[in-house]
Amino acid sequence: MNIAHAARIVCAGLFAVALAGCASTQNLKAQSAKFDWTQTEKKVVIVQPDIVLSELTAGGMTEPRADWTDATRKNLGGAFEKYMAKKSVATVPVDELTDEHEIQLSKLHSAVGLSIIVHAFGPAKLPTKKDALDWTLGPGAGALRDHYKADYAMFVFVRDSYATAGRKAAIAGSIVLCALTGVCPNIQGGTQVAFVSLVDLRTGNIVWFKLYGSASGDLRENKNVGVFVSTLMKDFPL
């Protein structure tokens, strides 16, 4: 199962980056969604982002970095709150998922999100869905509504990698090799793949989904995180 999961991330990543050489985004909005509030306060749960920052080693292994990941996760949470505050939407940050059901929801979202990328944006269109955003986390998401008294939740997924010095040398080497012999190995540098979902906690349905892919940008710097979030959240429907 882990191999299949990793393969989907790689596939989604390649696709997202292939969309454009530089940063690119795509979003989908559910046609049937209402985008309204029933609670007295406009409030969105920001579920702890599923995020991993890695080094891309010379040979192409992605080596997770705990220090970068922890720092960026915190910065990202803060940037989302700031963004929502500007829209006069209150946020409930869930900084550390401990509840078993909520952990499962977060993992479910990552799995569903990767499927959306492959089947809604990617080449494997499903005849029953076509381009429609018709995906759900199921009524189990209602637990978040009861717990936090909010109508919506945001789930965030980020995989971000940075080439090591060795990888950069390998990329440079491949360019030289290409010039010398005409053999041009395609050696990728670091990539960013991210997606966010807005989930209606009354139904569990994903009512808005945004995909972001980039071959540049540095989330390790807090100053870049704000720009990243505003790019990611452009077209946010609430």
Give least dist CB 188 to another protein, A.
Answer: 12
Stretch touching another protein by CB under 8 A, among 29-37, 80-88, 111-119, 175-183: 175-183
Give least dist CB 104 to another protein, A.
Answer: 5
Position 107 contacts another protein (CB under 8 A): yes
Binding-site member from 18, 36, 41, 63 for another protein (CB under 8 A)? 63
Give least dist CB 143 to another protein, A.
Answer: 13
- Pick between residue 107 and residue 234 the one whose CB is nearest to another protein: 107
Question: Which residues does 118 contact at the CB level (< 8 Å), separation at least 6?
Answer: 8, 11, 12, 15, 124
Position 221 contacts another protein (CB under 8 A): no
Q: What share of the chain is helix, strand, coil (3-state, %, to 5)?
A: 40, 25, 35
Stretch touching another protein by CB under 8 A, among 64-72, 74-82, 134-142, 195-203: 64-72
Question: Which residues does 9 contact at the CB level (< 8 Å), separation at least 6?
Answer: 114, 159, 193
Site mask for another protein (CB under 8 A), range 82-101, x = bound: ---------------x--xx
Question: Which residues does 119 contact at the CB level (< 8 Å), separation at least 6?
Answer: 125, 126, 129
Q: CB–CB of 209/116 below 8 Å?
A: yes
Q: CB–CB of 116/29 below 8 Å?
A: no
- In whole angstroms, give the CA distance from residue 180 to residue 76: 44
Give least dist CB 106 to another protein, A.
Answer: 9
Give least dist CB 11 to another protein, A.
Answer: 20
Amino acid at 203: T
- Pick between residue 96 and residue 131 the one whose CB is nearest to another protein: 96
